[in-house]
Structure 1
Amino acid sequence: MKISLSTRLISIMVFSILLSAFISILLVSSFTMKTFMGYSHQRDRDIALTLAEALSSVESEEQLEMVLHSLGSPKTRTGRQMMGPMMGSRPSEKSPATALKRMPSLMISTGDEVIPLLIVDRNGKVIQGQSHDYFGVLGTTLHPDSFTQGAPFYLQGVLAGYVLTGRQVGVDVERGEFSYYHSIFRGILIYPTFAALMASLLGALMLGKALKPLKSLYKGVVTIGKGDYAYRVQLPRKTFLNSDDDLTRLSEGFNEMASTLEASQEWKKQIITDTAHELRTPVSLIMGNLEMILDGVYQADRSRLESLYRESVNLAGLIKNLQTLSSEESGQNRMDREILSLPKILHQSLEDFRALAEKEKITLLEDLEEDCSFMGDRNRTGQILKNLLVNAIRHTPEGGGITLRCKGEGTQVLLEVEDTGAGIPPDLRERVFDRFFKMDASRSSGGSGLGLSISKILVENQGGQIRVVEGKTGGALFQIRFPKILKESS
């Protein structure tokens, strides 16, 4: 069974909230119970101390009865009032200790609850207290660990015994106290649980809404996987909760990726079309001439074979350029970097093309500074210069000139190739580096339209930049900048 991501996230969130609420309930309940019991024990001990102080101050039975009456309404387990007869009796001549033994079982009323009291003599013998279902028969002797926890009282300056509450000898808390604690516990249990459930419901709704773009993203991935690159994810409406969240940025990134893929596909289609067009011409010429020779229309003489050979060379050059461009863009070719001296490389390139330039009646000039070194690949740099010089010779008229320059500019090395041709209009200067771009018939005679594209990728792979501007004579001026190697100061 497949479970969606949103369902799993909502389940985890709800479980976390409920678990947190359960742990909080346990901790709060434990703390409340400890606090409540501590308060109850302290209150009971305060009552015992108060009664012990009162008992220590009496000197007669009548005073003892008045003290007990001031603490509450002493009752028996059956609820019989004790103070009336005692308050109405005449003063007794017996000692307070004798009067204490004549007192029935004691209970102190504190409003909603009744707290049992126990009085033992100094040896731990029960002389007054609750009925036997709490403490056993009167006269029972308690263990010292129990009665010594009570509040001591004195009669006529002599330790007479101890006053204890039911809790101090192990009696459970009265039903009223448990009822009060249970009401608190129910509140602790019910309200946080209800709040946790409401928070889970609200969180699930908000999380479901927040994760809604994931469904659109999934649909987009499937759609693009099928080849439909025009699909775009609908961006979530921006609010104060999701104005710049991860899902919004993910959706925007997905749309940018889809746009890039769509442009790449269009570019790929265009490349295939342009490549097929460029290959069609030499292949058609070769096939046409061969068919004519086979049909006996043309003779297989030397001039005809030389023409076929030239077309084959052009075709091989086009294929090689395509391979070079593809491998450079993919980074498959290894780059052998070394310190290169541009003046030497430029001078050698001029000498290599001097014969071709003289044949076309073009003058080659150079203006080279010595301090022009950079870290690059020798073969790639030579290929760049070859492509630029071929392009310049192709578009420079007879009697024109081509100038090569190099000089240092701060932290860069500037290389320039300038011709005296017709130049390139400003709106086309960026496009001349596109594959198979040919500005017009006058500048597209010969060549495959790949030389400048290859030069651009070769420059960029060596950390440089290339651009074309207008030269001093109106021709094309290609400028290349490489990071300069600075000489260490002595």
Structure 2
Amino acid sequence: MKHTLRGRLTRFLLASALVSGLTALLLTNAALYDTFYNYKEAVQLESARDFSEYTSRIYQINGGWTGKTQAMLLAYPGTDQFGFRIYDTQDYMVLNSQLLPDRVSFHQSMMRRMGRNAIFFQKRFYDGTEILEEIVVNGETIGTVELVYPSTFSVDTAELDFTSGVNRSLLMSLAIALGISGLLSAYLSKLLSRPIVNLTEVTKSIRSGQLNRRAEERQSVRELTELSGAVNDLAQTLSHQSEIRKRLTSDLAHELRTPLTIIQGQLDAILEGIFEATPDRLIVARSETERLIGLVERLREIADLEDDTVALTYEDIDLSAIVQDAVTLFEADAMTRGQTLTSDLSPVLPMVGDAHRLRQVLVNLLSNAVKYTPDGGRIRVETRTIGSTALLKIFNTGAGILPEDLPFLFDRFYRADVSRHRETGGSGIGLTIVKLIVDAHKGSIDVKSDAQTGTTFTVTLPLQPPL
């Protein structure tokens, strides 16, 4: 049987509180009895000194160890707590007073009760003790008094009630602390488990296809807020990818349908005798077939780049020279449309990269720039070095790209031109290949577009390939 997070948290917090409370209780109890032991020991030593002084005075008053002296010593208040023996200077026992059996039994009974009431009770408290004090008269030692206690310390009813009351208070405090800890544990476990349960429900909904579900991001715990945000980002990404897949299916069908329809129309007309199978008719069919082959090849290229199955051929290259060759390639097209194509290139921009792939990037970007720049517009290409990176910029004037289209510009088959006219829209694959090639070089590509000024593609590439 699997336990819920809330139950586990509650039990864990309660167990922690119980262990902490018991530890504090035992340590407090041990400290209490240790302090009490030291206190009673000090009291016993003080009593021994007092009894020794009393014995000295009685000895002086009665002029020696007389019968009256012994009677007055036996009448000393407090002798019901201890027995005593008095020795002279020759170690001869002058007087031996023992506690009555009922008093010994009383003290032992009190100690047993104290032990039962104590959470922490040391065995040393049960051991009897003997205290020796010298009897001094006028600066001269005349004997020794030995006090004999039935236990380490004698306990009276008031002291027993005090220690028992402390223990009861400690136990009550522990019970109250456990109760409060239980309530706090239940609240905290609910506070932590509720958003997790909500996240679980959201992820299950996302898994079932409800990609519009979102988790509440404003949580009381920072980590849960970050987790909720990550789940929402994942849902947003999945929703976007779902839309891309739908659009990909539609666009791919469109890209395949046009050439196939042309080929089928030409073949049907030839088979039905409407047209003769002239070279011109066959050339049309062949050109459309080549278009299909080119589309399939570009799709395969995207798949290879995404799967990292195409290895880049790194070599020492001059990026400015490659850019200049590409600019020369499009000068005639730009001139035909009255466009101004200029460049501002570093004389030499040495770096390590795949010359063929980088030329492919430039051809795609310049082809789009010429295609989307209106007649009489301007196109400008720049290269320069910034630190350990090479910077390539391609700017063109025109209507620009809508802000809502910018995030999806590098998605396959995506075209901001909803008319899908081939002369302006293309197949929607070129920029996808550009992005994959730049990523393969561990670089980055950025697009900024404004309806008034135009569009700028910025490619940043490391001068040396990453290890």
Q: What TM-score does the superposition give when structure 2 sets the normalisation length?
A: 0.76
Task: Tell whether 2:431 aligns with 1:452.
Answer: yes
Query: 2: distance between equivalents of 1:208 and 1:295?
Result: 77
Query: 1: distance between equivalents of 2:21 and 2:293?
Result: 76
The match for 1:278 among 252, 255, 258 is: 255
The match for 1:100 among 45, 66, 69 is: 69
Task: Tell whether 2:423 aligns with 1:423.
Answer: no
* Structure-2 residue corresponding to 1:223: 205
* Structure-1 residue corresponding to 2:11: 11
**What is the identity, as a one-letter code, of the residue corresponding to 2:100?**
S
Moved more, 358-367 or 300-309: 358-367
- Is the alpha carbon distance of 1:414 and 1:95 closer, same or farther for their aligned partners in structure 2, counting shifts above 3 Å? closer
The match for 1:334 among 293, 299, 311 is: 311
SS across alignment from 1:234: coil
> Cα deviation per residue 1:43-83 (whole Å; 9 max; x = unaligned)?
111011112112213345xx5xxxxxxxxxxxxxxxxxxxx
- Is the alpha carbon distance of 1:386 and 1:52 closer, same or farther for their aligned partners in structure 2, counting shifts above 3 Å? same
Query: 2: distance between equivalents of 1:387 and 1:338?
Result: 22
Task: Indicate conservation of the 8 Å contact 2:321/2:348, yes or no.
Answer: no
Report the identity percentage. 24
**What is the identity, as a one-letter code, of the residue corresponding to 1:437?**
R
Count of matched residue positions in the alignment of Structure 1 and Structure 2: 433
> Cα deviation per residue 1:248-303 (whole Å; 9 max; x = unaligned)?
33223322322222222222222222222222211222233334444444433322
* Structure-2 residue corresponding to 1:160: 143
Quote how far apart the aligned CAs of 1:223 are. Answer: 1.3
- Is the alpha carbon distance of 1:153 and 1:133 closer, same or farther for their aligned partners in structure 2, counting shifts above 3 Å? farther
- Is the alpha carbon distance of 1:97 and 1:203 closer, same or farther for their aligned partners in structure 2, counting shifts above 3 Å? farther
Task: Tell whether 2:84 aligns with 1:118.
Answer: yes
* Structure-2 residue corresponding to 1:408: 384
SS across alignment from 1:339: strand
Moved more, 217-226 or 317-326: 317-326
* Structure-1 residue corresponding to 2:122: none
- Is the alpha carbon distance of 1:418 and 1:256 closer, same or farther for their aligned partners in structure 2, counting shifts above 3 Å? closer
Task: Tell whether 2:199 aligns with 1:212.
Answer: no
**What is the identity, as a one-letter code, of the residue corresponding to 1:99?**
K
**What is the identity, as a one-letter code, of the residue corresponding to 1:53?**
E
Query: 2: distance between equivalents of 1:124 and 1:190?
Result: 55
- Is the alpha carbon distance of 1:260 and 1:481 closer, same or farther for their aligned partners in structure 2, counting shifts above 3 Å? closer
Moved more, 372-381 or 400-409: 400-409
Larger Rg: 1
* Structure-2 residue corresponding to 1:301: 278
* Structure-1 residue corresponding to 2:181: 199
- Structure 1 alignment gaps of length 5 or more: 64-92, 137-145
**What is the identity, as a one-letter code, of the residue corresponding to 1:445?**
E
Query: 2: distance between equivalents of 1:284 and 1:124?
Result: 136
Query: 1: distance between equivalents of 2:311 and 2:76?
Result: 101
Task: Indicate conservation of the 8 Å contact 2:217/2:226, yes or no.
Answer: no
Task: Indicate conservation of the 8 Å contact 1:416/1:478, yes or no.
Answer: yes
Moved more, 14-23 or 452-461: 452-461
SS across alignment from 2:190: helix
> Cα deviation per residue 1:61-113 (whole Å; 9 max; x = unaligned)?
xx5xxxxxxxxxxxxxxxxxxxxxxxxxxxxx774443233358557459xxx
The match for 1:436 among 401, 414, 420 is: 414
Query: 1: distance between equivalents of 2:45 and 2:453?
Result: 109
Task: Indicate conservation of the 8 Å contact 2:6/2:193, yes or no.
Answer: yes
Quote how far apart the aligned CAs of 1:215 are. Answer: 1.0
**What is the identity, as a one-letter code, of the residue corresponding to 2:445?**
Q
Task: Tell whether 2:222 aligns with 1:251.
Answer: no
Task: Indicate conservation of the 8 Å contact 1:459/1:466, yes or no.
Answer: no
- Is the alpha carbon distance of 1:106 and 1:179 closer, same or farther for their aligned partners in structure 2, counting shifts above 3 Å? farther
- Is the alpha carbon distance of 1:442 and 1:119 closer, same or farther for their aligned partners in structure 2, counting shifts above 3 Å? closer
- Is the alpha carbon distance of 1:57 and 1:7 closer, same or farther for their aligned partners in structure 2, counting shifts above 3 Å? same
* Structure-1 residue corresponding to 2:238: 261
Task: Tell whether 2:329 aligns with 1:343.
Answer: no
